[in-house]
């Protein structure tokens, strides 16, 4: 399959066996890398993307042999789709686990997982460049650009479909570490609060609590801290956009460094300076690997414990 273009004319692609079952919106985000998500959905809404000559909704699942008309679009992606050398170096030794089905990498904070508006490339592009021997690497799930830790990649479309099915059925166990602003006494609580995602006119994604939204459950447990900051373990049952960040904010203790849902003045007061990053880390990930159940852990960055007040 072609991976996007900046040319003048429309083109038609035929869905292959590896594309069967994939939602058309996710397919477009893959083949039109560098096109903003909002633009992709606008193409579908206006009927500029056609499948077998007709309009389709974002939830349409491709079948092998489907003919997909792709309109001419201009992307923000550099023609070679490469990460800068410094970013590639950050990924070079990032593999935490690998088998014939998948690999888990330790994603650095500050790197987007895929190309997007204003971004030439992402982590997935860097890993494809670093590991051409694997072929067909695909993102199973996503992490926010400023979140670090365990990120699962599938080796080929069949593995991707199986792992994403497991993810949809709740078969993954996801544990995060978060530094929360202020003294949260805990010792533990469950936030069960539905979330609704909105896209502002600027294209920025925002999430807010809304009973009409999608269900979301997060389990918070205090690990330690001080009167300024709290180190918490967060286990999520669902994987909604910005789920932990919004749920933490509803507790009155937003994640340190969260410029979207947090409090910059409170963060500066707690840290004594501007937070250099979002202090949210994908700590452990459990799923089904090639040989059975696997649990992978990304080492907790030292600064999480140090800022929270010492060893926990």
The residues assigned a catalytic role are 144
Cα 102 to Cα 290: distance, rounded to the nearest angstrom: 8
Contact 269, 181 (CB under 8 A): no
And the tokens for 15?
A: 């869905």
By residue count, the chain amounts to 312
Contact 194, 216 (CB under 8 A): yes
Range list of H helices, 65-143: 85-92, 123-130
Q: How far is CA 14 from CA 1, 20, 50, 63, in A?
A: 8, 11, 12, 10
Cα 178 to Cα 214: distance, rounded to the nearest angstrom: 23
Q: Which of 226, 219, 236 is nearest to 269 (CA)?
A: 226
- State the chain's maximal CA–CA distance in angstroms: 62
Instruction: Reduce the DSSP state of residue 166 to 3 states and report it.
Output: helix
Q: What do you get for the CA distance between the two ends of the chain, in Å?
A: 49
Contact 62, 20 (CB under 8 A): yes
């Amino acid at each position: 399959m072609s991976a996007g273009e900046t040319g003048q004319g429309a083109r038609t692609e035929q869905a292959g066996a590896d594309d069967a079952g994939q939602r058309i919106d996710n397919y477009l985000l893959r083949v039109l890398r560098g096109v903003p998500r909002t633009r992709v959905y606008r193409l579908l809404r206006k009927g500029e993307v056609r499948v077998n000559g007709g309009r389709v909704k974002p939830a349409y699942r491709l079948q092998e042999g489907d003919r997909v008309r792709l309109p001419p679009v201009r992307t923000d992606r550099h023609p070679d789709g490469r990460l800068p050398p410094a970013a590639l170096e950050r990924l070079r030794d990032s593999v935490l686990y690998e088998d014939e089905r998948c690999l888990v990498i330790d994603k650095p904070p500050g790197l987007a997982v895929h190309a997007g508006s204003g971004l030439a490339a992402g982590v997935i592009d860097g890993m494809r460049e670093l590991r051409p021997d694997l072929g067909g690497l695909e993102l199973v799930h996503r992490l926010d650009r400023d979140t670090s830790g365990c990120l699962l990649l599938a080796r080929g479309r069949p593995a991707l479909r199986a792992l994403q099915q497991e993810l949809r059925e709740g078969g993954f166990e996801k544990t995060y570490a978060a530094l929360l602003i202020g003294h949260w006494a805990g010792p533990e609580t469950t936030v069960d609060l539905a979330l609704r995602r909105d896209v502002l006119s600027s294209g920025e994604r925002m999430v807010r609590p809304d009973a009409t939204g999608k269900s979301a459950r997060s389990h918070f447990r205090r690990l330690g801290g001080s009167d300024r900051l709290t180190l918490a373990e967060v286990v999520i049952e669902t994987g909604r956009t910005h789920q932990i960040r919004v749920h933490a904010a509803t507790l009155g203790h937003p994640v340190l460094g969260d410029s979207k849902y947090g409090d910059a003045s409170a963060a500066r007061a707690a840290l004594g300076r501007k937070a250099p990053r979002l202090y949210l880390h994908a700590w452990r990930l459990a799923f089904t690997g090639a040989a059975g159940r696997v649990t992978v852990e990304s080492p907790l960055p030292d600064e999480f414990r140090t800022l929270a007040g010492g060893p926990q």
